[in-house]
């Protein structure tokens, strides 16, 4: 792996909020569960000292999705250098680090194993505490490292427990009550595809490339959301579960009925805008129901939060902020750079778990499946 290649993916560090103490705890976090090899050094005062993300997207693009074997091979080639560069960029040596954290699942097991073994090796060799981070908990807790509202991205919001979380990524779509670190209550979830998967599949049908979310999002900004009618599955039903496969089937049927010569730029933009509007409606409808759920009423979360790769979507952010306002709640989303998979969220979740003593005491096996409610 050429280091030049990695440096181009570098997001740099951010001196974020506080400089509370000389004794801030430093955590090295490693993420490798899908198609990003990433490491970051984050401190307990919410500063990101360095953050390197090596994205494998170009390697998977020609296959229209992530190929697990290729991903695992790319993680092996990248992981050592990503960690080394992160330490260099933070101007730290491994001796300066207090805690090592890595994703131990859920995800593509080949990739998870590589990051996890690297972290275990470092922790064992240096005799430092090791935290096994649930990848979803990384997404769920990162808004506590850094978050803002949709309309004002500059003012940081301190996200306090409990909060109502819309977790939408390539692999998951769930509404959760986040009571505390390790304490998640599932309010609703998808019965079939995740929201990210729906974006990716629509983009694939239109030959727009991978990953589809950001492409469809950009196209939607140029399109007419009223031109095509997509279904809003389950929206006429009570409850907080999602279903996106019907939207996908409707898209397939509409495209099959359209002659290729009619699929011009405007068609694609309008199609993306109409599809995205359906997803936004599903998310707000389900969240609306979640706010009426007895468990949510009892917990009285002050903040509505979105996280995961799909949280990058500006229409979803705006709609959720609106709903939060109507419900007298705050709205918070991580900065764009901390929505898709990244090492900083793993380092932060590592710190939050370390603080409550959740460190690895004996060897553990990484898990391809690992629900937040099992923590
Ligand atoms: O959280 P993430 O990086 O990986 C998983 O843990 O799955 O999420 C990746 C997903 C992909 O499906 C991608 O298409 C979607 O997030 N995504 C978006 C946007 N940016 C990324 N979806 C909608 N709008 C976006 N702007
Ligand atoms: Zn993720």
Taking residues 268-275, what's their average pLDDT? 98
Ligand 2 centroid–CA 341 distance in Å is 5
30 DSSP β-pair partners = 39, 102
Which protein residue's CA is at the shortest distance from atom 14 of ligand 1?
213
Does any domain span residue 241? yes
> How many domains does the chain divide into?
2
Q: Is 214 exposed, middle or buried (0-12, 13-18, 19+ CB in 10 A)?
A: middle
CATH code, domain carrying 179: 3.30.420.40
Looking at the fold, whether 139 and 199 belong to one and the same domain comes out as: no
Query: What is the Cα–Cα distance from 70 to 162, expressed in whole angstroms?
Result: 39
Ligand 1: nearest atom to the Cα of 341? 3
Q: How confident is the model over 40-98, as pLDDT tens digits?
A: 999 999 999 999 999 998 888 888 889 999 999 999 999 999 999 999 999 999 999 99
Does any domain span residue 151? no
Q: How confident is the model over 134-153, as pLDDT tens digits?
A: 999 999 999 999 999 999 99
Looking at the fold, whether 44 and 138 belong to one and the same domain comes out as: yes
Ligand 2 centroid–CA 224 distance in Å is 30
pLDDT(225) > 80: yes
Looking at the fold, whether 103 and 182 belong to one and the same domain comes out as: no
Query: What is the Cα–Cα distance from 238 to 249, expressed in whole angstroms?
Result: 23
Q: Residue 221 sits in which domain range?
A: 163-333
What pLDDT shows up at residue 251?
Answer: 98
pTM higher than 0.85, yes or no?
yes
Q: Using a 6 Å CB cutoff, which residues line ligand 1?
A: 34, 169-171, 196, 199-200, 211-214, 217, 308-310, 312-313, 340-341
**Dihedral Cα 330, 331, 337, 342, nearest 10 deg:** 80
Least confident range of 10-19, 121-130, 218-227, 360-369: 10-19
Looking at the fold, whether 266 and 350 belong to one and the same domain comes out as: no
Percent of the chain past pLDDT 90, that is, above it, reads 91
Looking at the fold, whether 123 and 204 belong to one and the same domain comes out as: no
Looking at the fold, whether 98 and 182 belong to one and the same domain comes out as: no
pLDDT(106) > 70: yes
């Amino acid at each position: 792996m050429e280091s030049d290649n990695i440096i181009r993916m570098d997001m740099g560090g951010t001196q974020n909020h506080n400089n509370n103490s000389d004794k801030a705890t430093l955590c090295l976090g490693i993420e490798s569960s899908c198609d990003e090899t990433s490491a970051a050094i984050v401190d307990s005062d919410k500063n990101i000292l360095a953050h390197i993300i090596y994205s494998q997207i170009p390697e998977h693009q020609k296959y229209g999705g992530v190929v697990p074997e290729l991903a695992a091979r790319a993680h092996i080639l990248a992981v050592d250098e990503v960690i080394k560069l992160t330490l260099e960029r933070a101007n730290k040596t491994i001796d300066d680090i207090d805690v090592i954290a890595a994703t131990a699942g859920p995800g593509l097991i080949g990739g998870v194993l590589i990051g996890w073994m690297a972290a275990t090796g470092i922790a064992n060799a240096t005799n430092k505490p090791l935290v096994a981070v649930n990848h979803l908990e990384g997404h769920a807790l990162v808004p506590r490292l850094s978050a803002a509202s949709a309309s004002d991205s500059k003012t940081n919001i301190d996200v306090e427990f409990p909060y109502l979380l819309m977790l939408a990524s390539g692999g998951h779509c769930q509404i959760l009550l986040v009571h505390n670190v390790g304490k998640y209550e599932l309010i609703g979830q998808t019965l079939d595809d995740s929201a990210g998967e729906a974006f990716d599949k629509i983009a694939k049908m239109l030959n727009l490339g991978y990953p589809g979310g950001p492409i469809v999002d950009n196209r939607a900004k140029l399109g007419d959301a009223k031109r095509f009618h997509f279904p809003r599955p389950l929206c006429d039903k009570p409850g907080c579960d999602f279903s996106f496969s019907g939207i996908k089937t409707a898209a397939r049927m509409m495209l099959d009925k359209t002659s290729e010569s009619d699929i011009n730029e405007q068609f694609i933009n309008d199609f993306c805008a109409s599809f995205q509007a359906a997803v936004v409606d599903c998310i707000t409808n389900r969240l609306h129901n979640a706010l009426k759920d007895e468990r949510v009423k009892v917990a009285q979360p002050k903040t509505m939060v979105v996280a995961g790769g799909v949280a990058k979507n500006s229409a979803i952010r705006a709609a959720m902020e609106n709903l939060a306002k109507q419900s007298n709640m705050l709205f918070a989303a991580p900065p764009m750079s901390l929505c898709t998979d990244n090492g900083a969220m793993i380092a932060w979740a590592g710190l939050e778990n370390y603080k409550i003593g959740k460190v690895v005491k004996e060897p553990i096996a990484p898990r391809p499946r690992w629900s937040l409610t099992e923590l």
